[in-house]
């Protein structure tokens, strides 16, 4: 069930049986010469839809702009500041909490969101407490990073070894190829790829990682691999969701 494709009456009926909701969150940022700018949001949304279908759970609209300030030296990247994203998440969750939702399962596709999400959760709990909402003390938020799922990680290492890297990875590119097989991009990749550098500001990031990749070789990606990653992520996060709401 997709929230934006439901009526308000259907949501009220859903809330009679469940107070949990899945929220996909990603980013709109460069993913190297062959990765779609929407990769992180595309992956999070696809996996979230799979989990939602398994469990007949409501999936909220995807938050597709995240914290990607370090990528903004690359054309096309859109980022929110951490403070802006925290307030956005606070308003997002507060609206749903007022409706009766209490458990918020964020399926995340972007490593750069993790710290901000955790900070946002603390602010959300404090904010809801100040509103004196009924049962606001029962609100719980959690992050499930699809790319850190145990079996996804193991398959990526098996297929790509050290060439998986940590950004513009073949695993995430493969998943977008599975979702959008008609949008597979081809571009020459340099033999040398930046890796191991600390992340500071946007200009420093581009100097260290000139083509946007971080130790990765996305040329290894295939749609078939993407389907495998999708199925493994959905399986594991379905189990994680059930544990979270129990």
- pLDDT bucket at 21, cuts 50 / 70 / 90: very high
Mean pLDDT rounded to a whole number for the chain: 97
DSSP 24: E
pLDDT at residue 134 is higher than 90: no
pLDDT tens digits, 169-179:
999 999 999 99
For the chain, list the domains and their CATH numbers. 3-239 (3.40.50.10310)
Instruction: Select from 154, 187, 190, 194 the least CA-distant residue to 173.
Output: 187
User: Which pLDDT band, with edges at 50, 70 and 90, does 232 fall under?
Assistant: very high
Q: What is the largest CA-CA distance in the chain?
A: 58
Distance CA 87, CA 93 (A): 10
In this prediction the pTM is: 0.97
The pLDDT value given to residue 104: 98
pLDDT at 236: 98
**Which residues are within 8 A (CB) of 105 and not within 5 positions of it... i.e. 6 or more apart?**
20, 21, 22, 23, 142, 144, 240, 241, 244, 245
Going by C-alpha positions, the residue among 18, 33, 17 that lies closest to residue 173 is 33
pLDDT given for residue 80 in this prediction: 98
């Amino acid at each position: 069930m997709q929230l934006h494709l439901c009526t308000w009456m259907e949501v009220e009926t859903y809330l009679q049986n469940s107070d949990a909701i899945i929220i996909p969150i990603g980013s709109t940022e460069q993913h190297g010469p062959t990765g779609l700018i929407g990769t992180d949001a595309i992956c999070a949304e696809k996996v979230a839809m799979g989990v939602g279908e398994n469990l007949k759970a409501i999936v909220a609209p995807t938050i597709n702009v995240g914290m990607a300030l370090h990528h903004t030296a690359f054309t096309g990247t859109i980022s929110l500041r951490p403070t802006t994203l925290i307030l956005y998440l606070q308003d997002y969750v507060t609206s749903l909490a007022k409706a009766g939702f209490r458990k918020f399962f964020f399926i995340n596709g972007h490593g750069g969101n993790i710290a901000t999400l955790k900070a946002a959760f603390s602010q959300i709990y404090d904010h809801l407490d100040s509103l004196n909402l009924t049962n606001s003390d029962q609100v719980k938020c959690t992050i499930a990073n699809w790319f850190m799922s145990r079996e996804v990680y193991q398959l990526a290492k098996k297929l790509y070894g050290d060439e998986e890297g940590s950004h513009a990875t073949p695993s995430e590119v493969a998943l977008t190829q599975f979702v959008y097989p008609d949008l597979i991009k081809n571009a020459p990749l340099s033999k040398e790829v930046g890796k191991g550098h600390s992340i500071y500001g946007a200009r420093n990031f581009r100097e260290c990682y000139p083509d946007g990749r971080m130790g990765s070789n996305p040329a290894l990606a295939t749609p078939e691999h993407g389907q495998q990653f999708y199925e493994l992520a959905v399986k594991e996060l379905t189990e994680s969701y059930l544990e979270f709401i129990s």
